[in-house]
């Protein structure tokens, strides 16, 4: 099976490209992703998860984040 070239990918529809992204993502084994994470990164993720669990109301709802990014009050 030949690898698609960048020009070939641009000829795909959006739906076809999204399907390709899904196939690529699914082809990465879970253990490969976990093995590539440095210890300091894993510790930071665990720290942030603990903070979120300790105070679930501390975060900002996603709709507010999107509105802020779009420049809406």
Contact between 47 and 39 (Cβ < 8 Å): no
What is the structure's pLDDT at 4? 66
Task: Give the number of domains in the chain.
Answer: 1
**Residue 56 in domain:** yes
Q: What is the pTM of this model?
A: 0.41
In a domain, 1, yes or no: no
- The answer to whether position 63 is within a domain reads yes
Residue 64 lies in a domain: yes
pLDDT, one tens digit per residue, over 7-63 is 788 889 999 999 999 998 888 876 666 667 889 999 999 999 999 999 988 888 889
Residue 11 lies inside a defined structural domain of this protein: yes
Residue 11: which domain range?
Answer: 6-69
Whether residue 38 is contained in a domain is answered as yes
3-class SS letters over 10-66 = HHCCHHHHHHHHHHHHHCCCHHHHHHCCCHHHHHHHHHHHHHHHHCHHHCCCHHHHH
Does residue 37 fall inside a structural domain?
Answer: yes
């Amino acid at each position: 099976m030949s690898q698609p070239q960048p020009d070939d990918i641009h000829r795909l529809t959006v739906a076809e490209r999204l399907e390709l992204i899904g196939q690529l993502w699914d082809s990465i084994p879970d253990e490969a992703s976990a093995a590539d994470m440095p210890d300091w990164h894993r510790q930071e993720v665990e720290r942030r998860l603990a903070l979120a669990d300790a105070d679930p109301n501390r975060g900002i709802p996603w709709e507010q984040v999107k509105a802020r990014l779009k420049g809406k009050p």
